[in-house]
Structures are given as structure tokens and as C-alpha cells.
Structure 1
């Protein structure tokens, strides 16, 4: 992937943003969920920026050494890159690091089948894992902790607003299997606030929308990921509902640009939606764009019981990104352009990693 020309454009776009990069210059950053959609792109950005003198040591944390070595082969021997094999549900120590300046918690189950088949892991990563990392951040005198949260924390739209701002709170039935993800994300946010008050730790909370891009994992069962995979494989797009769900989406380059804006410019204790109205779309229209790109059809199919157990009940979840835009962030890609770039990269014979 890193050698693909379109992907290189995306990396250079984020690297070239006017941000206070000096805050992480000659510093260190720990990133959990390193091999995930957001984490892998973020690491590519930081390692590219290091080629331009940033000198930021990246600790990339994940559970699968082989997968990480394959994904980050280009950096594996760099003194500015170190992979840490670790399960975040266990306390974390780094033998060779007295101080880690920034801690970024991106590790989480983030797709429906995982919610249904690994509900315990879903909850513990967002609560126990977050607590372990917050403890680590305090012990290692971190300057700032970033907890990757989600549009899921807003729950179901009460019908009173068109867009969710950062103060909105909708309904979640906590006594369900599916509630494990949004409720644990809410709890993770609350833990961040507790550490801010009790341990004087600087915390920021970027709230991601449904993110997508060429770095998505093959195991991802979100609807948009399944649509893209079907198209890349030359198959019809399978829609397992009427498709009237109206959601915000974010292309990975814009998501990481938004994340870095929050990390480097956000106010401690604040949450920020990473969202742009130009990427709000109904699921059926999303499926149609992808099907048209691949010259395929949209077909309907009933979901199985495992899939239904993991699906969100929210029918409208459009996020208000104006708070983040006041910090200077603006999305570069709308939904159609982001999808086109993703599809071109994933169908490119050059794409290997």
C-alpha cells in the first residue's frame, strides 16, 4: 500500500498540513491499534514526517507481531519505530522508555460481527484497556492522552436534531449485547475526564464517524467495508436492509488529519466530532456509488442472526463537525471522491501492503 501513488498523495497531503508539528518533534508517541485502519495510516504519516526532520519516536502497539512486521516492514529497523506486542487488557510497561510524551488509544473492536462474537473483548478494550493506558500515561509523564471515541456514543436520534453536536445524548438500551460498544466508549470518555481531574492528565477525545479507506482490515464487517470488498472482488453489492440509514462517513486521510488537529490543537478535556456534511449519505446511495464504480448491481439479502445482533439500531447519525473546523480542520475529500480513491487503490495490482 505504501508504494501506491494515490496512497502516497494522501500521506503527503496530511504531512503537509499546517499544524503545530513541533509539539511532537523530538518526542515519543505510543499508538495502540497500530495495524488498524486509522492507526496504520497515522503511523505512515508520522514516519513520513520523520523523513523531513520531525524526529518523533513511534511505539506501535498491537497483538499480532507477524501482521505488524508485514505491514510496517519499511520501518522495522528504523530507530524511530518500535513495535510493542501487547494486549491492552493487561498492564503495560516499556522497559526502555522513562517518558512517553503522547499516548494514543485507537485499539478497539469497531465492527458489527466483533460486537456480536466478542462482546467481552469489545467492552474490556474500551474500559480496562483505556484505564491501563491512562495509568501508563500518568506514570510515564505523558503530555497528552488521546482516546479515540465514536459516533456510536450518541445513541439513537431522538428526532429533535438533524446533526449531533458534542453535547448530544440519544437513547441506548444498555441491557443488550449491542450496547457493549457505545456504552464502553462512553465509559472510556468518562475515565479520561476522571484522570484529567484526579491526575492532572491532559486528555482529548476525537470522535470518529464511520471511517473507511484502503487501510481497512479484511475482517471489518461494517456495511461500507463489505460493499467495498464485494466490488473489489467483482461481485454484486449486498444490501441487508432498506438502506435508508443516514450516516456520516470519513475518508481515512481526512480522519487522520482531523485526529492530528485534535491531538495538537484541541483543548484538554474536550471532545471533537471528525465529520463533514459532504460525506453524509444514505446507505442505499452509498451502495449505488460503489456498485456503479465496479459496474455491478445492488442486491438485497436478509442478515443472519449474528449480523443482526451486531447491527446498530440508529437510523440517522449525522455529526456536526463545526467545533473541529474552528480549529482549522476541513475535509479534503467528499464521499464520492473518497470512495473512488479507495476503490482505485484496492484494485491496483501494485497494492501489496
Structure 2
């Protein structure tokens, strides 16, 4: 996605500004340093945009250290090279002994494989980002006294046992750990346990965000999640392809709401606590989601079997709805975009970005 076009798109900037205007204790970030792993990803890119925009609007002087494995990708996604209060460090956060070069006050570990083809083709890399990468950043946080946020996932709950409608933070679902697909959800579970271990032994302040399935205009072209593929195909004028009966029902979240939730947890969350980031207005069945995208783009929904590689990376969960009451009641967080508005807004921004003239 052309980064400069993104930041010139009024609809996109409006979404960023809504996050910047939230009644948060932004003063905690003033003159502080924030390290963000996975800074070129779907969530990381939007978060960097928010923090840099906040610097422009309010003079927050919050220094952002973006971590990523590819500097060329970073240059195309993050148009802040040469700007004050921004720096990029190239490298794998999972490399043995990795540590950012400068000390930080806050660390957000967002780097992770996030879609089926990655799980199926690089399960070792998936585990290493969630475990080795987190261990490196926990050790770094212990050394410099930083507060760390670990981006966990709805997938730590596994399959619904049929005893609840929604997962709250105390729910323990069912995961078959002896599968290829378990590389993701089991390593996220271990990551949460590691946060507790480093809190106990090293005194690290750590908070955990369990995030619903995220979408939005910063999604990457190679993202193989179902909704991402629906959006990509519809933007190309192609029919939306449904690779199952579509009866799975999941919680979704627009990236702007995901980032606002992360900031609530980072700045207001209680040390050691985990918080679900989900909204009932974005709970939807997959076939209805496909229909929503297709209708908004004037195309059809067609069925096609997934190839073996795709199928190996798919979640086995068929009902995964999250209870977001804890974040709402304790932190004052709430999502601002239901699924219909979020899809419409995402398509609007992406269409604008595909137009050489911008928005």
C-alpha cells in the first residue's frame, strides 16, 4: 500500500484522528520512547500513524522505535524516515540475544505470523516470533524498566466447549496441541505465561491484549485470512470466494478500534491483567461477512475448496465470540465501528489508495 497516499487520504486520517482524540492519559507518552515490534504489520502500521500524528497535533515528542525485518518494506509502509522522533531498526526480534539499541519506556510486541499460509509454511517462525521474540523484549524491558504490552489473540481460547456463548478472560477452551496449526495459539498461550514469569522474577510490568480478528485499510496484500481475501478480491472486481460452508461465527475488530484498545491497555491496564478487545456489534457469521463484502463491491459470493496448504493453516474453531466487558467496564474502552461500517470504511479507503490520484 502506498504509504504517502494513505496519509493523504481524508477518510484514513479521520480514523487516525478519532483515536488521537480519545480521552486517554496521553501525557504518559510525552517525551517517552515507545518500541513497536511488527511495526509494518496491519496493527503496527496504524499504531505508528497514531503516535506520529499525535506528535504533529499536540507536540507530544513521543519517540517511536519501529522494529521490522525489512527496511525496504518499512520505507514503503512508514513514511517517517528522516522525521524527528522516529527511527527504524532492521532485524528479527526472534534472533538470539536481540535487543533494541536504545532504552525505552514502553514496549509493544506486535510481531507475529497472523494468517493461515504463514502458519502452514513457517510454523517454526510462527513459534519463534511469539516465544523467542517475546523473551528478548521481556529481557530488554527488564533491563530498561519498560512497561510491556503483549498482543495475544482470541485464538488462545481454542474451540468453544459448548458451555458458554462468549469467552471472558477466565474461560479455558479446548486446543489440540498435537497439530501443525497449534504453532500459533499454543505459542500465544506460552507468551502470556512468560509475561507472568518475568513479572514475578524480573519485576517487569506487563499487560496482555487478547485481540479479536482484525481488519482494516492497513492490511497486507499477502494476508491469507478469509476476510482479507474477501476484501482483496472484491477490490479487484472479482467474486468473493468462500472456502467453507461459512457457518463459523467470530468476533471482528476494525484496526482503529484495535489500536485504541491497545492504547487503553498500555496506559490504563493493571499490571499482569489480560483484556479482551472485542465488540458485539462486530460478531458475524463468515458467510454473512462474505455477503457483506460482496454486496458493497457489486460482486458475487462463490464457493471453492481450499488447497491443502491453506486448509492446514485454518482454525478449527467454529464459534469464537469474545466478551469485551472487562476492557469496557475497567478501562472505559469501547469500539466505535460495527462490522458494516468498518467494512464500508475499509473498502472506501482501499479504493482511494488504488486510485493514483489519492483520495
TM-score range, shorter chain: over 0.9
Partner of 1:129: 133
TM-score using structure 1 length: 0.97
TM-score using structure 2 length: 0.96
Partner of 2:314: 311
Q: Does 1:71 align with 2:77?
A: yes
Partner of 1:346: 350
Structure 2 distance, partners of 1:3, 1:84, is 25
Secondary structure class of the residue paired with 1:148: strand
Correspondences of 1:83-98 after superposition (within 5 Å): 83-90=88-95, 91-95=97-101, 97=102
Q: Which structure 1 segments of 5+ residues have no match?
A: none
Structure 1 distance, partners of 2:333, 2:237, is 36
Q: Does 1:163 align with 2:163?
A: no
Which of 210, 215, 227 is the aligned partner of 1:212?
215
Contact 2:93 2:99 in 1 (8 A): no
Partner of 1:30: 35
Structure 1 distance, partners of 2:357, 2:114, is 24
Structure 2 distance, partners of 1:133, 1:331, is 29
Q: Which moved more, 1:1-10 or 1:276-285?
A: 1-10
Q: CA deviation at 1:86?
A: 1.3
Q: CA deviation at 1:72?
A: 1.6
Q: Which structure 2 segments of 5+ residues have no match?
A: 1-5
Secondary structure class of the residue paired with 1:319: coil
Contact 1:37 1:213 in 2 (8 A): yes
Secondary structure class of the residue paired with 2:108: strand
Structure 2 distance, partners of 1:34, 1:351, is 26
Give a deviation string over 1:268-318, Cα, whole Å, max 9, x none: 000000000000000000000000011111000011100110000000000
Structure 2 distance, partners of 1:277, 1:120, is 34
Correspondences of 1:2-13 after superposition (within 5 Å): 2-13=7-18
Pair 1:236–1:351, CA change in 2 (3 A): farther
Pair 1:316–1:351, CA change in 2 (3 A): farther
Q: CA deviation at 1:351?
A: 7.8
Q: Does 1:237 align with 2:243?
A: no
What is the total number of aligned residue pairs between the two structures? 349
Structure 1 distance, partners of 2:106, 2:100, is 14
Structure 1 distance, partners of 2:33, 2:171, is 34
Pair 1:18–1:157, CA change in 2 (3 A): same
Give a deviation string over 1:84-106, Cα, whole Å, max 9, x none: 101011222344x2x31001100
Q: CA deviation at 1:340?
A: 0.2
Which of 223, 228, 231 is the aligned partner of 1:228?
231
Partner of 2:24: 19
Partner of 2:55: 50
Q: CA deviation at 1:79?
A: 2.2
Contact 1:246 1:280 in 2 (8 A): yes
Q: Does 1:120 align with 2:124?
A: yes
Partner of 1:149: 152
